[in-house]
């Protein structure tokens, strides 16, 4: 027998909520070189906090039971401000601080140094400029001259980014309007795109496939639909895709492109000179 539609919707909603609640039990598949670092910090935090939470709950239940009211056993009021109480409270606070904050800070800075702030350099690095707008993603590839902001730049269809597998990718981004955040759940990276400045992030795909690009910063009424698609493919397919998306170039004149922005409201020449990273 079919369940009524409302019931089905409700149970689907519950499934979604439960799924969201255990995100890190069943996270989006990690298909990146360094994503495991993020996962391990989160798993460590979850584990330690889970253990402490268990201890607190057990202690609470024990005290509630052991000191429950009974005949001839009145309530005792205690402000907990004796030296002994202060030492125990301070000590426990310090234990939590050292075993959670200090440890994850140490791991996080090691990961930043070794991976996330350690931008790859060299010939094989793919550079992409990203310009989010309300509510879409614009991408730009340097084209044959290897320079951005020139007329041979390759601008694919909005919301579609392609990269080759096993190649380091450096993304620089700026925003056309408000703050957006470039989020690749399967790569465990997220970076704000802020008006007036250029920010950067890098990653490397270890598997082929089509993955989500999400905006992780509430950027307006259409934030929810600001979705893009990242296709990871072989180097050969990627090169073909670039050729397919290459602009037709009558000459080097930007003026020919004046009308190009009619659809998106953004002129085609939005790119900037690549900012060399230290
Ligand atoms: Cu956005």
pLDDT digits (tens, 9 = 90+) for 16-25: 766 655 555 6
Output the CA angle 55-56-58, nearest 5 degrees.
Answer: 65
Q: Which residue has the higher pLDDT, 257 or 35?
A: 35
d(CA 96, CA 45): 11
User: How far away, in angstroms, is 221 Cα from ligand 1 center?
Assistant: 10
Confirm whether 226 is domain-assigned: yes
Arithmetic mean of pLDDT, 39-55:
91
Q: Which residue has the higher pLDDT, 157 or 269?
A: 157
User: How far away, in angstroms, is 227 Cα from ligand 1 center?
Assistant: 9
User: How far away, in angstroms, is 96 Cα from ligand 1 center?
Assistant: 36
Residues 84 and 20 in one domain: yes
User: How far away, in angstroms, is 192 Cα from ligand 1 center?
Assistant: 9
Model confidence at 253: pLDDT above 60: no
Residues 110 and 174 in one domain: no
pLDDT at 266: 81
pLDDT at 198: 93
Residues 95 and 135 in one domain: no
Helix axes 103-111, 35-66, angle to 10 degrees: 170
Residues 160 and 243 in one domain: yes
User: How far away, in angstroms, is 219 Cα from ligand 1 center?
Assistant: 5
Stated as kind and residue range, the H or E segment containing 223 is none
Residues 88 and 139 in one domain: no
Residues 81 and 148 in one domain: no
User: How far away, in angstroms, is 130 Cα from ligand 1 center?
Assistant: 12
Model confidence at 250: pLDDT above 70: no
Residues 31 and 95 in one domain: yes
- Is residue 62 very low, low, confident or very high in pLDDT (cuts 50, 70, 90)? very high
Residues 161 and 88 in one domain: no
User: How far away, in angstroms, is 111 Cα from ligand 1 center?
Assistant: 27
User: How far away, in angstroms, is 187 Cα from ligand 1 center?
Assistant: 18
pLDDT at 152: 87
Arithmetic mean of pLDDT, 147-175:
93
pLDDT at 258: 52
Number of structural domains (the chain) is 2
Arithmetic mean of pLDDT, 87-96:
94
- The per-residue pLDDT for range 128-157, each reduced to its tens digit, is 999 999 999 999 999 888 889 888 889 999
User: How far away, in angstroms, is 53 Cα from ligand 1 center?
Assistant: 36
pLDDT at 255: 56
- Is residue 15 very low, low, confident or very high in pLDDT (cuts 50, 70, 90)? confident
DSSP string, 69-115: -BTTB--------SHHHHHHHHHHHHHHIIIIIIHHHHHHHHHIIII
Arithmetic mean of pLDDT, 80-84:
90
Arithmetic mean of pLDDT, 1-21:
70
pLDDT at 231: 96
Domain assignment of residue 108, given as a range: 5-116
User: How far away, in angstroms, is 15 Cα from ligand 1 center?
Assistant: 27
- Is residue 268 very low, low, confident or very high in pLDDT (cuts 50, 70, 90)? confident
Q: Beta-carbon neighbour count of residue 47 at 10 Å? A: 10
Q: Which of 54, 81, 116 is the endpoint of a domain?
A: 116
User: How far away, in angstroms, is 261 Cα from ligand 1 center?
Assistant: 19
User: How far away, in angstroms, is 216 Cα from ligand 1 center?
Assistant: 7
Confirm whether 77 is domain-assigned: yes
Confirm whether 255 is domain-assigned: no
158, with CB counted inside 10 A (0-12, 13-18, 19+), is: middle
Closest CA to 38 of 103, 113, 114, 108: 108
Q: Which of 116, 147, 164 is the endpoint of a domain?
A: 116
Residues 171 and 94 in one domain: no
Residues 145 and 235 in one domain: yes
């Amino acid at each position: 027998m079919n369940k009524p539609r409302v019931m089905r919707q409700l149970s689907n909603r519950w499934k979604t909520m439960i799924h969201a609640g255990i995100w890190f039990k069943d996270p989006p598949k990690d298909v990146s070189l360094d994503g495991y670092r993020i996962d391990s910090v989160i798993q460590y935090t979850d584990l330690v906090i889970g253990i402490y939470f268990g201890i607190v709950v057990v202690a609470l239940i024990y005290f509630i039971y052991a000191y429950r009211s009974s005949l001839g056993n009145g309530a005792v009021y205690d402000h907990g401000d004796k030296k002994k109480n202060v030492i125990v409270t301070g000590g426990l606070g310090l234990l939590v601080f050292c075993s959670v904050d200090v440890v994850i800070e140490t791991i996080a800075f090691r990961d930043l140094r070794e991976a996330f702030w350690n931008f790859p350099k060299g010939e094989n690095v793919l550079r992409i400029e990203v310009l989010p707008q309300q509510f879409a993603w614009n991408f730009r590839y340097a084209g044959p001259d290897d320079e951005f902001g020139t007329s041979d730049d390759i601008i694919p269809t909005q919301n579609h980014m392609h990269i080759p597998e096993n190649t380091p990718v450096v993304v620089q981004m700026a925003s056309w309007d408000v703050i957006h955040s470039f989020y690749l759940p399967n790569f465990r990276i997220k970076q704000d795109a802020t008006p007036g400045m250029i920010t950067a992030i890098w990653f490397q795909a270890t598997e082929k496939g089509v993955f989500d690009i999400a905006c992780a910063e509430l950027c307006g009424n259409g934030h929810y639909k600001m979705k893009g698609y990242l296709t990871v493919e072989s180097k050969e397919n990627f090169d073909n895709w670039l050729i397919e998306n290459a602009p037709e170039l009558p000459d080097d004149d930007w003026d020919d492109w004046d009308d190009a922005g009619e659809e998106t409201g953004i002129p085609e020449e939005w790119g900037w000179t690549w900012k060399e990273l230290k």
